[in-house]
Amino acid sequence: MNYITEFKKFVTGQYLAKGVRITAGAVVPALILYWFNWLAVGIAMPLGALMVSLTDSPGPIHHRRNGMLISNVLNFLVALIIGFTRHYSILLAIELSLLSFFFSFIGIYGSRAASVGLIAIIIMVLNIDVHKGEQQVIRDALFMLAGGIWYMLLSLLLHTLRPYRLIQQALGECIITTASYLEVKSKLYKSPEGFDEIYKELLSLQIDIHHQQEQLRTLLFKTRGFIRESTTKSRILLMMFIDSVDLFEQVMTSQQDYKLLHEYFREGNLMERFRLLIAEAAHELDKIGLLVQSGFPSKDKGCLDQLIRDTEDAFVAYRATHLTATNIEGFISLRHILNSIKDIADRIKRLHRYSTYSSKVSKEVKLETVDAEKFVSSQEMDIKLFAENLSWKSNIFRHSLRVSICILAGYIIAQFFPFGHSYWILLTIVTILKPAYGLTKKRNIERLMGTLAGAGLGVLLLSSVHNNSVLFVFLILSMIIGYSFLQIRYVVSVVGITLYVLLFFHFLIPVDFRLLSMDRVIDTVIGSVISFVGALFIFPKWEQEQAHEYVEKLMEANLHYFAAVSQAFYQKPSEINTYKISRKNAYVALANLSDVFQRLLSEPKRNSGNTEILHQLVVSNHMMTSHIASLATYAASLAPRYHSAAFKPVAESLQQQMQNAIYLSQHKTPSNDINMIDSGFSRVRDMVQDLLHKRLVEINEGTEFSNVRKELSGYKTIADQFELIQTIITDINHVLKKQQAMITSQ
Alpha carbon distances (Å) from 403 to 99, 170, 696, 740:
10, 32, 70, 35
3 state DSSP class of 559: helix
Q: Which of 514, 516, 528, 540 is nearest to 446 (CA)?
A: 528
pTM: 0.86
DSSP letter for 369, please: P
Q: Are the CB atoms for 181 and 281 separated by under 8 Å?
A: no
pLDDT of residue 397: 93
**Residue 162: CA count within 13 A, CB half-sphere:** 10
pLDDT digits (tens, 9 = 90+) for 381-431: 678 888 888 888 888 999 999 999 999 999 998 888 766 566 888 999 999
- The contacts of residue 18 (CB under 8 Å, 6+ apart) are 56, 483, 484
CA atoms of 712 and 718, how far apart (whole Å): 10
pLDDT surpasses 90 at 25? yes
Instruction: Determine how many CB atoms are found less than 10 A away from the CB of residue 1.
Output: 5
pLDDT of residue 352: 92
CA atoms of 30 and 33, how far apart (whole Å): 5
CA atoms of 536 and 524, how far apart (whole Å): 18
DSSP result, 157-196: HHHHHSTTHHHHHHHHHHHHHHHHHHHHHHGGGT-SS-HH
pLDDT digits (tens, 9 = 90+) for 425-480: 899 999 999 888 888 888 999 999 999 999 999 999 999 988 989 999 999 999 99
pLDDT of residue 580: 85
Say what percent of the chain tops pLDDT 90: 37
Considering Cα of 33, then 39, then 42, then 44, what sign does the dihedral take?
Answer: positive
pLDDT band with cut points at 50, 70 and 90 for residue 674:
very low
pLDDT digits (tens, 9 = 90+) for 299-308: 888 889 999 9
**Run of H or E residues at 440:** helix 437-464
Q: Are the CB atoms for 478 and 499 separated by under 8 Å?
A: yes
More confident residue, 671 or 558: 558
CA atoms of 48 and 26, how far apart (whole Å): 8
CA atoms of 55 and 122, how far apart (whole Å): 12
CA atoms of 384 and 683, how far apart (whole Å): 53
What are the respective helix, strand and coil percentages of the chain, to the nearest 5? 80, 0, 20
DSSP letter for 106, please: G
Give 656-662's long-range contacts (Cβ < 8 A, gap of 24+).
Answer: 657/726, 657/729, 657/730, 657/733, 658/555, 658/558, 658/559, 658/562, 658/729, 659/559, 660/733, 661/555, 661/729, 661/732, 661/733, 661/736, 662/552, 662/555, 662/556, 662/559
pLDDT digits (tens, 9 = 90+) for 221-267: 766 555 555 678 888 888 899 889 888 888 876 666 788 888 888 88
CA atoms of 538 and 543, how far apart (whole Å): 15
pLDDT digits (tens, 9 = 90+) for 26-71: 999 999 998 888 887 888 999 999 999 999 988 888 889 999 999 9
What is the distance of C-alpha 563 from the center of its chain?
26
Considering Cα of 579, then 583, then 589, then 593, what sign does the dihedral take?
Answer: positive
End-to-end CA distance of the chain: 49
| Helix spans in 222-269 (H) | 232-252, 258-264
Name the phi and psi angles at 58, rounded to 5: -60, 145
Which residue type does 583 have?
R
pLDDT surpasses 60 at 374? no
Q: Are the CB atoms for 329 and 256 separated by under 8 Å?
A: no
pLDDT surpasses 50 at 675? no
Q: Which residues of 296-321 are buried (b: 16+ CB within 10 A; e: fewer)?
A: eebebeeebeebbeebbebbeebbee
pLDDT surpasses 80 at 215? yes
- Share the mean pLDDT of the chain: 86
